[in-house]
Amino acid sequence: MIKLIKFIKSKFHKININKNLVLITIAVVSIAFTGFLIFSNNNNASAGPVAEKAIDFMNKNVIQKGKTATLVDFSKESGVIKMKVKTGSNTYNIYATKDGKLLFPQGLPIDSRPKKQTAQNSDSPSASLSNTTKQTCDSLQKTDKPLLEAYVVSKCPFGLQMQRAMADAVKKIPSLEEFTKVRYIGDIVNGKVTAMHGEPEAKENLMQICIREEQNNKYWDYISCHIKDGDVEGCLDEVGIDQNKLNTCMKDEKRGLAYAKEDFDLNEKYNIRGSPTLILNGQEVNESDFGGRSSQAIKEIISCSSKTKPDFASKKLNSEQAATSFSPTYSKNPESSINTAPNNNNTPACAPS
């Protein structure tokens, strides 16, 4: 402001003009500039309560339990309020109407064609397979050695359903084991693993993680036993798990907790919200587009994402939907009492209540 006044004085000084006119001009400019600053501050201030309301809504209804969304910055842009939000190590933008009644997880520019969003390159709440385009064998990214990761929790009936489909696929085609991996959804709070269905599930998740990492050759045998009726002690004995090694792993933060943290960090990276969620080569894949939760669909997804057609590609597996919850058979589908919510694939999945 001071520089502006000096500039006006210097210009008027060079011409012969009434000094009073100069002072009046400076006063008018000063009032106008001050008014602009007041209007600008009030304009931004009005966006503050809306931004805070949006963050509060996200923390109560969107963000995974144990996580917190924080507001980094906000501004008015293109008729809406743009907010920069941070969750864990991820930063992304969300948008809200000025009246605070509608919240938008993403904004797509219509002046140019937006890039297709994948779970790999976006950390926003809409990162999980937001488009509705049906996936096909041809549309899947091809690689020399595909990896299909299933994100589950161990007490979710639909997580058990996915584990059952994968276990059947690996049993029928043992070589599929090198192309599949089960990861777990959760968090670490005060040095303890947490899960959406409470402490028993958190303990079982950690147990399965330790078996996966340190007794891997017995992992699928344990899963195949556990999904029948959830008899943990009986399955540990039946499969021949080294329980001393298992217990040590679960108590050692440099082992069990470290393995679990790797899974949970990937939860954030891919914005995993429901059990089960499939990630193929770093991108979310919709199992419904390949036959649903069946061993045939698992085999099909892996075959379709291989650059070279694998030997097992033509082998037919079970195309029936695997049973949900605990079941002694592949296709039995008992009732479940666990609260569930649909995932982004419009297929049943467990999600935080």
Integer Cα distance of 160 and 146 in angstroms: 23
Range of the domain at 326: 148-349
The tens digit of pLDDT for each residue in 236-291 reads 999 999 999 999 999 999 999 999 999 999 999 999 989 999 999 999 999 999 99
My answer on whether 97 and 217 are in the same domain is: no
* pLDDT for residue 18: 54
The tens digit of pLDDT for each residue in 197-246 reads 999 999 999 999 999 999 999 999 999 999 999 999 999 999 999 999 99
My answer on whether 203 and 343 are in the same domain is: yes
Q: Is 119 domain-assigned? A: no
The region, left, alpha or beta by phi > 0 then psi within -120 to 50, assigned to residue 246 is: alpha
My answer on whether 28 and 53 are in the same domain is: no
Quick check: 345 and 273 in contact, CB under 8 A?
A: no
Integer Cα distance of 244 and 196 in angstroms: 27
The tens digit of pLDDT for each residue in 137-187 reads 999 999 999 999 999 999 999 999 999 999 999 999 999 999 999 999 999
My answer on whether 253 and 227 are in the same domain is: yes
Residue ending a domain, choose from 74, 89, 104: 104
CATH of the domain at 99: 3.10.450.520
My answer on whether 82 and 217 are in the same domain is: no
My answer on whether 157 and 211 are in the same domain is: yes
Report the first-to-last Cα separation within the chain, whole angstroms.
54
Q: Is 132 domain-assigned? A: no
* pLDDT for residue 6: 55
Q: Is 131 domain-assigned? A: no
Residues 6+ apart with CB under 8 A from 259: 209, 210, 212, 213, 249
Q: Is 163 domain-assigned? A: yes
Q: Which amino acid is at 232?
A: V
My answer on whether 156 and 174 are in the same domain is: yes
* pLDDT for residue 121: 34
For residue 256, the surrounding DSSP H or E stretch is helix 256-269
CATH of the domain at 332: 3.40.30.10
Q: Is 126 domain-assigned? A: no
Token readout for 48 is 């503050």
Q: Is 29 domain-assigned? A: yes
**Residue 126: pLDDT band with limits 50, 70, 90:** very low
- CA nearest 179: which of 156, 146, 153? 146
My answer on whether 89 and 171 are in the same domain is: no
Integer Cα distance of 53 and 105 in angstroms: 14
Q: Which amino acid is at 291?
A: G
Count of domains observed in the chain: 3
